[in-house]
Structure 1
Amino acid sequence: MSAPTASVNRRTVLLRIGLVLAALLAVLGLADATQQLAAAGGIALAIVIVGLLLNLGVIALAVPAWRGSRRAAITVAVFGVVGSLGGLPAFFVPGVPAGAIIAAALGIVITIVIAMLILAGLGRRDS
């Protein structure tokens, strides 16, 4: 096996691992958002709806990204990172339980790692 082929295979594996993890995290995010819809009101409702839409976008775009669409893969990574920003208020709002802060931090870190896997899997476009 030549070096370029090995590099392409490695990138494909990284991309697909990132896409599977992104889709799984989006499904978990959908489940969480649907539970929060009933209890949310005001600005919290808007945040939940945006998170719901971003998670739906990740799930919908995972298929074309899997099939090789660079734009879809980049969008999956961006939607994931933007969606994880919904956890930032946990660090600034007083009275948030420690468990929620830890969960928000883990969610942000995991999402960044997934985005890095996807982007590393895309690599650079060869001429």
Structure 2
Amino acid sequence: MVLGVLSVVDLAGPLATDGEHPPMEIALIGAALGLLSLILVVLAWRGKRRAVVPLIALRVLSAVTALPAFFVGDVPAIAVLLAGVLVALTALGVALVLVPARQLAGAR
């Protein structure tokens, strides 16, 4: 679910950018990653285990595209904050996908 929401957010990237933060090229790459991720989310939701590893790879790649916000100067604070949220939610989503559901149920 988390990875699906992040995929939708990536799709909206080109509409939310000012062209500089993030650059339009990065927003378009993010949108492409979001679209591919959404396809994989649907496949994984339907039980196709083969979709999980590429889904994780695409979501991690999407998070990596946000990392320059922490190192490039002149990035607005809100963009840095959003990049941090994206990276944190990606880590959470990947962890939730990797932990079997029975372990989560048994942890209660």
TM-aligned CA deviation for residue 98 of structure 1: 2.1
Which one has the bigger helix percentage? Answer: 1
Give the ranges of 4+ consecutive aligned residues of structure 1 lying more than 3 Å apart after TM superposition: none
Which residue of structure 2 aligns with residue 27 of structure 1? 8
Aligned length: 100
Q: Which has the higher contact order (CA 8 A, sep 6+)?
A: 1
Q: 2:60 aligns with which of 47, 60, 81?
A: 81
Q: Give the residue type in structure 2 aligned to 1:61.
A: L
Q: Residues 70 and 122 of structure 1 are in contact (CA less than 8 Å); yes or no, is this contact kept in structure 2?
A: no
- Greater Rg over alpha carbons, structure: 1
- Please, what TM-score do these two structures have when normalized by structure 2? 0.79
Q: CA deviation at 1:33?
A: 2.6
Q: State the Cα distance separating 1:122 from its structure 2 match.
A: 8.2
Cα shift readout 1:16-75 (whole Å, capped 9, x = no counterpart): xxxx12111211221123333xx538xx33322221111001111111101221221221
Structure 1 residues 54 and 26, CA gap change in structure 2 (3 angstroms): same
Q: What 5-or-longer segments of structure 2 have no aligned partner?
A: 103-108
